Chain A
Amino acid sequence: MTLIVSLTVFVLASFVGFEVITKVPPTLHTPLMSGSNAISGITLVGAVLVTGAGGSSTLATVLGVIAVVFATINVVGGFLVTDRMLEMFKKHR
């Protein structure tokens, strides 16, 4: 993938992000933060790739494993806590 293609994807995704997020009401801003935070844990994909490559560098594997742990905390914890919060948002009466 060339730099230009990557950059194109980045810029277009940013626009989509701005459009979508602007419509999130202030009442949901905390779940938005924790939920989007879980999405930034997508770096887990990169962490699995570098760790699973089973490369020659022990140090790379060590960094990779720590990255997997960190990113998984981010993903699992982020989605769960967001769900916990959103469950409480109820309408009654």
Chain B
Amino acid sequence: MPIELSGLLYLAAAGLFIVGLKRLSSPATARSGNRLASIGMLVAVVVTLLDQGVIEYVWVAAGLVIGGAIGVLLARRVAMTGMPELVAAFNGFGGGASALVAGAAFLLGGTGGAVTALTLGLSVVIGSVTFTGSFVAFGKLSGRVSGGPVHYPGQRYADPVILAGTLGVLAWFMISGDLLEFWILLGLSLLVGVIRVLPIGGGDMPVVIAFLNSLSGVAASMAGFAIESSVLIISGALVGASGLILTNIMVKAMNRTLMDVLIGGFGGDSTGGDGSDTGDRTVRRTSADDLAIVLAYAQSVIVVPGYGLAVAQAQHALRELADLLADRDVDVKYAIHPVAGRMPGHMNVLLAEADVSYDRLYDLEDINSDFAHTDVALVVGANDVVNPSARDDATSPIYGMPILDVDRARTCVVVKRSLSPGFAGIDNPLFYKENTLMFFADAKGAIEDLVREVRTA
């Protein structure tokens, strides 16, 4: 294939990626967008296979078949609750592949100058950090590694040395272009990924996955610089930008900064305060039959699902309840906090799986003003994201975090096992407010009881 033609087809592939991503701006067109992007990928791969530089097909074919089979298996098997782990693993594979491409390109052709050495080196560094970092994140998310922050002795002093050492070796490799420095660089980068993600607590994982997502794109871009492929540079840059935007959204929603998260030590770690001390405050309890009446005779209900809902696998029962209420002409909406799930947009996927219509799902900014004229806010399995301290108490550690204003609804109902604090480890004054009713129960059992009671109400 003449080089002009393959160049044009690569450009077409990059164009399809952009159009595909653009179609993700609405759930109605998103699926076709994903298909367009996958067609773009197919075009790029076929063009590459026809490249005159490709003369050895057996190994390539073997790799494609094995990788394809594993990919299909993983994509089919994963439960929607396991999506964060899967995306973490995919990030890792992508980053690892970019590092390996740079390695192989170096072994084949050397560096040919400081500039290429730098791009090769960066591809190895970013790709390797993404690789090991993602698999540590995968371990934490799937419960194979402790979810809490893990430190090794002397980390405070050793980490800066290791980071500086990695940059030093990168500079050394730029000048020398030797194999030895290449291996040292690879080893150090793999180590950095492990030691930088281990200290990050489970609660911060949404930020970490989004950030690693960005890095996997940047690694692909750097590999593109190294092997002079513009389709790699473009696609990598798109993903890099996407991951950065998501990282930023998550960081803001959690009231953190990226630096805080990367330095680690929060999330899963108790930061003081305890929920057991109710003092002289009173809690108003409710039961399924009373609550069913409240819900059935309400005009408007906003459901606020949290991750506890998904853990209890109660989203299907919740949809059933919402359908029953809708049959009684109750206006039911869902308010989704950006960190309601374990990754950006996770709760929306879980509710979509339970067959909730996507036009019933509202983002924080779009629905917050509605609470004030809503009869019932039904909070299921969420805690910190509805804690009014974040809005009202300047001394609270979560002060400034955007929350859903459920306390402004006429009645706020919280379905929760106990008064224990959430991820941030702080007390929630919402539970003691006059217009709050506590329904102490497991989310799934509670919703199923409600479904039964509403049927007869």
Give chain A's interface secondary structure class. Answer: helix
B249: chain A residues at CB < 8 Å are 26, 29
A31: chain B residues at CB < 8 Å are 24, 30, 34, 345, 349
- A26 to B348, Cβ gap below 8 A? yes
Q: Which residue of B lies closest to A64 (CB)?
A: B104
Given A65-B63, A67-B101, A52 and B54 contact (CB-CB distance below 8 Å):
yes
Interface residues on A, range: 35 or more
Q: Mark A33-62, 1 if CB is under 8 A from B, else 0.
A: 111111111111111111111111101110
- B238 to A10, Cβ gap below 8 A? no
CA A48 to CA B237, docked complex, whole Å: 20
- A54 to B56, Cβ gap below 8 A? yes
Q: Is B66 an interface residue (CB 8 A)?
A: yes
- B236 to A40, Cβ gap below 8 A? yes
- A86 to B100, Cβ gap below 8 A? no
- B357 to A74, Cβ gap below 8 A? no
Q: Is B45 an interface residue (CB 8 A)?
A: yes
> Nearest Cβ distance between residue B430 and chain A, in whole angstroms?
23
Q: Is B150 an interface residue (CB 8 A)?
A: no
Q: Mark B197-230, 1 if CB is under 8 A from A, else 0.
A: 0000000000001100100110111011101111
Q: Which of B20, B93, B232 is the most central at the interface, judged by chain A CB atoms within 10 Å of its CB?
A: B93
Give chain B's interface secondary structure class. Answer: helix
Q: Mark A7-42, 1 if CB is under 8 A from B, else 0.
A: 001110111111011111111111111111111111
Segment of B75-83, B158-166, B188-196 in the binding face: B75-83
B90: chain A residues at CB < 8 Å are 34, 37-38, 73-74, 77-78
Q: Mark B65-87, 1 if CB is under 8 A from A, else 0.
A: 01110111011101010010011
A-B CB pair tally, cutoff 8 Å? 398
Q: Is B408 an interface residue (CB 8 A)?
A: no
The one of A47, A76, A86 in contact with B27, judged by C-beta atoms closer than 8 angstroms, is A86
Q: Is B406 an interface residue (CB 8 A)?
A: no
Q: Is B298 an interface residue (CB 8 A)?
A: no
> Nearest Cβ distance between residue A86 and chain B, in whole angstroms?
4
> Nearest Cβ distance between residue A8 and chain B, in whole angstroms?
10
Q: Is B98 an interface residue (CB 8 A)?
A: yes
A92: chain B residues at CB < 8 Å are 355, 357
Given A36-B21, A92-B357, A10 and B221 contact (CB-CB distance below 8 Å):
yes
- B357 to A85, Cβ gap below 8 A? no
CA A1 to CA B229, docked complex, whole Å: 8
B binding-site residues for A, Cβ under 8 Å: 10, 14, 17-18, 20-22, 24-28, 30-31, 33-35, 37-38, 41, 44-45, 48-49, 51, 53-57, 59-60, 62-64, 66-68, 70-72, 74-76, 78, 80, 83, 86-87, 90-91, 93-94, 96-98, 100-101, 103-105, 107-108, 115, 209-210, 213, 216-217, 219-221, 223-225, 227-243, 245-246, 249, 326, 336, 338, 341, 343-346, 348-349, 352-353, 355, 357-359, 361, 363
Of the A-B pairs whose beta carbons lie under 8 Å apart in the complex, a sample of 29, sorted by A's number, is: A9-B237, A10-B221, A20-B21, A24-B25, A27-B358, A28-B24, A29-B348, A33-B246, A36-B238, A38-B41, A43-B94, A45-B229, A46-B105, A50-B227, A52-B60, A60-B108, A66-B100, A67-B96, A68-B64, A70-B96, A72-B67, A74-B71, A77-B74, A81-B86, A88-B352, A89-B27, A91-B359, A92-B355, A92-B357
Other A-B pairs, 8, CB within 8 Å; known A52-B53, A86-B30: A9-B233, A10-B233, A28-B24, A28-B30, A46-B229, A73-B90, A79-B38, A90-B358
